[in-house]
Amino acid sequence: MDVDSVSSSPPLRQSSLPPSSAPVASQSSNGRSTPRRIRPSGRGSDALNLGDDEAEEVPDGDDAGARRRRRPRGQGQLNADVPIVKDAVGESVQESFETFLRTFTEEIALASTPASDGGVPVAPDGELIYIEQIHTMREYELTTLYVDYGHLLQKDDVLADAIQKQYYRFLPYIRRALHNLVAQYEPEYLKLNPTAAATDSVNLQSREFNVAFYHLPLVSGIRDLRTDKIGTLMSISGTVTRTSEVRPELLYGSFICEVCGGLVNEIEQQFKYTEPSLCPNPTCGNRTAWQLQIDSSKFTDWQKVRIQENPSEIPTGSMPRSLDVILRSELVERAKAGDKCVFTGTFIVVPDVSQLGLPGGNKAELMREAAKAGANSAAAAVGGAGVTGLKSLGVRDLQYKTAFLACMVHDVDGHAGTNVRGEDEQGEDDSEAFARSLTEPEFEELKRMVNSDHIYSRLVESIAPTVYGHDIVKKGLLLQLMGGVHKQTPEGMHLRGDINICIVGDPSTSKSQFLKYICSFLPRAVYTSGKASSAAGLTAAVVKDEETGDFTIEAGALMLADNGICAIDEFDKMDISDQVAIHEAMEQQTISIAKAGIHATLNARTSILAAANPIGGRYDRKKSLRANVAMTAPIMSRFDLFFVVLDECNEKSDLNIAKHIVNVHRFQDEAIHPEFSTEALQRYIRYARTFTPKLTPEAADVLVEKYRILRQDDASGTGRNSYRITVRQLESMIRLSEAIARANCTSEIKPAFVREAYTLLRQSIIHVEQDDIDFDEEELEGEREGERRPRATADDVEESQDVEMSAAEIAAMDEAEQSYNESMGLNGAGSSGLNGATSDGISRAGSMAPNAPPPPQPKRRMVITHDKYMTLQSLIVFHLAQVERETGKGVDRDELIDWYLETKEEDIQDVEELEYEKELITKMLRKLVKDNYLIEIRGDVQDSLPESMEESSGQPSMDSQDGNFRVYYMVHPSVDTEGSSSVP
């Protein structure tokens, strides 16, 4: 028993061991220990599933005692000479674990050199991290060794498995292994007070050491804890709801017999107050009268925390489960209320002694009473204290409680480990872990989804199935659910991966439905209304606790939605000052509080899905997005995507909407057949989120190019942007590309994904602002070149183009001055180079063709969608560029119109349509000129210049000049055909 002798020292004041797992029992200490012995029961299986076959009987085995002792009531008071089971497996675990600690280095390949066999710590090149840690423990006076379970798995998976499966059984051996190592490397550190040891051996105090495991591959929820998990090593995660004060816990008690005055040492406490059951003095026979000797008993720090299930793990409609976690020694005060923590340790069952506590009574007294009652019954002598005789206390049947004995606790870092959204830096590893958590059919379904074609568009169709149409918004929502990749720069700056979306639109379109869908879809989503919530309600408030007077921080919606989505309805109704308050949350993903002496930065890693009503109730297409929404530009720029949903009065869509609503009422859920169920979608998204997509070089090139185009559009002023295109939009595009890659379950961002991201971005931020191109509206703003052609007016859109100037036209004159000034400035900047037309247009010819046929307009209003405008623009520019390259000349206007009408020939069915198209192209050309895509040459180059000068004054006379000039068009020098023609 040389191992035992190390710690079977006289009573110690301080101990950090859980009593039940102390490696060494007390009884070797000077023969005065109590006749307390574990009954070597024939029952082979206890809660730890110990088999008798793996244990041999030896006359004396404190080891076995240690493991048997976990039965709170199984410990009998039997004769000392009854043979006790010795756990041979335990011994070998101890040996292997010791070897592991002795030899482990990060470089696994080097660790298995033959020289390391002999138990001699032959250090390979790598650092012996655990030996180092033992030295550090001494330096900083720590008693806990932290062991990465991953290392254990890597080095010795048999050992790792054994420890995991029967943690409670092997715990004493693991600790003894550590003890031995400390004895070897830091022998001085074993004793708490080495100098005093020489003089006073009774008070010599030895340290108790703990081993804390962390990084277990799987983290379970509280709900998963079942009786079959008892005694195994596992990690659970939960939110700490309250913590007890730190108190001393009695590990080993020393008692003085009140009858004969004898001292009884090292009475191990088993989750309850345990007195010696019989005085060792053969003549005494005292069973009940004991006095605890506080100075010679061993105590440890003890704290109990209550944890509650994480919101994401609770099945719908169920209440959160709670569990007690016992923290000891150095782990106390590590977990604070409100923290989301992961605890590693073991699930245990303990008798519910708290039942014995009756209000107002002296509990210890009652315990003693109970013990007395038990002692009086001969048959109950085995029970020790506190179990028998309960009846006299009014307890009917003893109940058992579950608790979690933790050896390690750490905060959940938001984006690692057990993130609710399954986010993890470790990529593939984690997706495997997620896949493992699925049932077979779920896994099969997921596999089918991942491997199927066009998964992206099919997923989009399954999003928010109750809402009819609005596919582009659904796309955005899907990407928001997928999210981009969170990154951290080497300087430690966090780059958000969350995608913020704002939906703007007319009342009673489906904005709120989208928001509600997201909230029902994602467990960690909070729905709130901008009208009802102040900034404090959204972010966090400092609240004074009325009882204690302490200030505490109360979580707001954004914090509640940490790692989820915060859906804010009626965003525009929020005070501007409140909108500003969430700036920080949107970009930095944190919330700072400085109030009542509290300075705190709290995590709010949430995506924001906002819905806003336009100013004045309806979206005014004539105005820019910015003018339509009551939002400041900085806030707007923090949204990655803006969507405008309009209440279009259109017979066909009305019918579709009606059909949709009626069907919902007719068939309820059967009316909506999303291809994938909500659950399947949730699983897919969780799986997809395990990917961390990276840009391929080709995709990076595309990204750069697209960004350049965006910037250029911005700079050239073609888009009436609400805000400038900045790096923020570049980041948005990266995030969107990442999300698209995730939606496709791949970790490579392909050029196609970037293109899709670009399209989305254009369609939202740019398209939306430009909105539909309303030529009638355009004309109100005046023309740059002052060119006058017969055309329809804003008031009279149905008429053909042969209409003379109308009153509206004249009204436009007012604006002309202003736009003239603007365009002159731009023109000066743009016309410096003449190379624009030469770049390759041919390669893009294919991509343009499918876009060409525009959908017939419901009414012959001179409005086309921005998409169509861009298509036409690239068509014309490309054509002109080609002609220019071939002939070096511009194209005559009439020729150009004819050419255009030819390309449209198939779509034009009647004269009316022909007229429409003709008018359209005319206006189109005019707009292109105005926007510096084309230059207009009248007769010859010289003629065009003076005309622009006379614009502001000479309007009324322009029409008369019309017939006298042949008008040519050329591509404006500043236009890059690559850029403008790549519009999808």
Q: Which of residues 47-86 bind other proteins (CB under 8 A)?
A: 47, 71-74, 76
- Whether residue 759 contacts residue 984, with contact meaning beta carbons closer than 8 Å, is answered with yes
Residue count of the chain: 984
Task: Give the start-end residues of each E strand in 832-920.
Answer: 863-864, 891-892
Q: Which is nearer to other proteins, 227 or 909 (CB)?
A: 227
Site for other proteins in 462-481 (CB under 8 A): 465-466
Site for other proteins in 843-862 (CB under 8 A): none
Q: Which is nearer to other proteins, 558 or 710 (CB)?
A: 558
CB of 316 to other proteins, least distance (A): 8
Q: Of the candidates 54, 59, 336, 363, which one interacts with other proteins according to CB under 8 A?
A: 363
Q: Which is nearer to other proteins, 395 or 813 (CB)?
A: 395
Site for other proteins in 329-348 (CB under 8 A): 337-338
Q: Pick left, alpha or beta for residue 483 (phi over 0 → left; psi -120 to 50 → alpha; otherwise beta).
A: left
CB of 96 to other proteins, least distance (A): 27
CA distance linking residue 577 with residue 337, whole number of Å:
31
Q: Which is nearer to other proteins, 436 or 659 (CB)?
A: 659
Q: Of the candidates 647, 947, 959, 978, which one interacts with other proteins according to CB under 8 A?
A: 647
Contact between 606 and other proteins by CB under 8 A: the answer reads: no
Alpha carbon distance, N-terminus to C-terminus of the chain:
81
Q: Of the candidates 88, 633, 661, 704, which one interacts with other proteins according to CB under 8 A?
A: 661
Q: Of the candidates 58, 438, 664, 730, which one interacts with other proteins according to CB under 8 A?
A: 664
Closest listed residue to residue 917, CA positions, set 871, 867, 856, 866: 856
737 CB-side CA count, 13 A: 27
Contact between 801 and other proteins by CB under 8 A: the answer reads: no
Closest listed residue to residue 961, CA positions, set 973, 971, 947, 974: 947
Closest listed residue to residue 409, CA positions, set 518, 301, 326: 326
Exposure string of 573-606, with b = 16+ CB inside 10 Å and e = fewer, is: bbeeebbebbebbbbebebebeeeeeeeebbbbb
Structure tokens at 192: 């708490």
Q: Of the candidates 84, 657, 725, 733, which one interacts with other proteins according to CB under 8 A?
A: 657
Q: Which residue has the tokens 């041999």?
A: 56
Contact between 314 and other proteins by CB under 8 A: the answer reads: yes
Q: Which is nearer to other proteins, 95 or 411 (CB)?
A: 411
Structure tokens at 171: 């715990």
Q: Of the candidates 256, 292, 897, 908, which one interacts with other proteins according to CB under 8 A?
A: 292
Q: Which is nearer to other proteins, 216 or 405 (CB)?
A: 405
Contact between 245 and other proteins by CB under 8 A: the answer reads: yes
- Give the per-residue contact string, 497-516, with other proteins (x = CB under 8 A; - = no): ----------xx-------x
959 CB burial (10 A radius; 0-12, 13-18, 19+):
middle
Site for other proteins in 515-574 (CB under 8 A): 516, 520, 532, 555, 560
Interacting span for other proteins (CB under 8 A) from 149-157, 648-656, 684-692, 756-764? 648-656
Q: Of the candidates 112, 113, 136, 318, which one interacts with other proteins according to CB under 8 A?
A: 318
Tell me if residue 325 falls in helix, strand or coil. Answer: strand
Q: Which is nearer to other proteins, 79 or 227 (CB)?
A: 227
Q: Which is nearer to other proteins, 187 or 507 (CB)?
A: 507
Contact between 165 and other proteins by CB under 8 A: the answer reads: no
Contact between 272 and other proteins by CB under 8 A: the answer reads: yes
Q: For residue 680, give every residue at least 6 positions away whose Cβ sits within 8 Å of its Cβ, in sequence order, or none.
A: 442, 445, 446, 449
Closest listed residue to residue 16, CA positions, set 209, 164, 152: 209
Q: Of the candidates 448, 621, 666, 708, which one interacts with other proteins according to CB under 8 A?
A: 666
For residue 783, give Cα distances in angstroms to 24, 780, 824: 95, 9, 12
CB of 592 to other proteins, least distance (A): 20
Closest listed residue to residue 774, CA positions, set 861, 650, 868: 861
CA distance linking residue 527 with residue 774, whole number of Å:
37
Q: Of the candidates 53, 397, 546, 906, which one interacts with other proteins according to CB under 8 A?
A: 397
Structure tokens at 912: 């009316």
How many residues at the interface with other proteins, by CB under 8 A? 108
Interacting span for other proteins (CB under 8 A) from 175-183, 395-403, 795-803, 926-934? 395-403
Q: Which is nearer to other proteins, 197 or 403 (CB)?
A: 403
Q: Which is nearer to other proteins, 219 or 370 (CB)?
A: 370
Contact between 938 and other proteins by CB under 8 A: the answer reads: no
CB of 335 to other proteins, least distance (A): 13
CA distance linking residue 968 with residue 885, whole number of Å:
15
CA distance linking residue 278 with residue 264, whole number of Å:
10
Contact between 349 and other proteins by CB under 8 A: the answer reads: yes
Q: Which residue has the tokens 């007690």?
A: 324
Partners of 326 in beta bridges? 304, 405
CB of 260 to other proteins, least distance (A): 21
CA distance linking residue 93 with residue 96, whole number of Å:
5
Contact between 603 and other proteins by CB under 8 A: the answer reads: no
Contact between 593 and other proteins by CB under 8 A: the answer reads: no
- Dihedral of CA atoms 230, 232, 236, 240 in degrees, nearest 10, equals 60
Contact between 651 and other proteins by CB under 8 A: the answer reads: yes
Q: Which is nearer to other proteins, 134 or 353 (CB)?
A: 353
Q: For residue 704, give every residue at least 6 positions away whose Cβ sits within 8 Å of its Cβ, in sequence order, or none.
A: none
Structure tokens at 871: 């298509």
Site for other proteins in 411-430 (CB under 8 A): none
Contact between 13 and other proteins by CB under 8 A: the answer reads: no
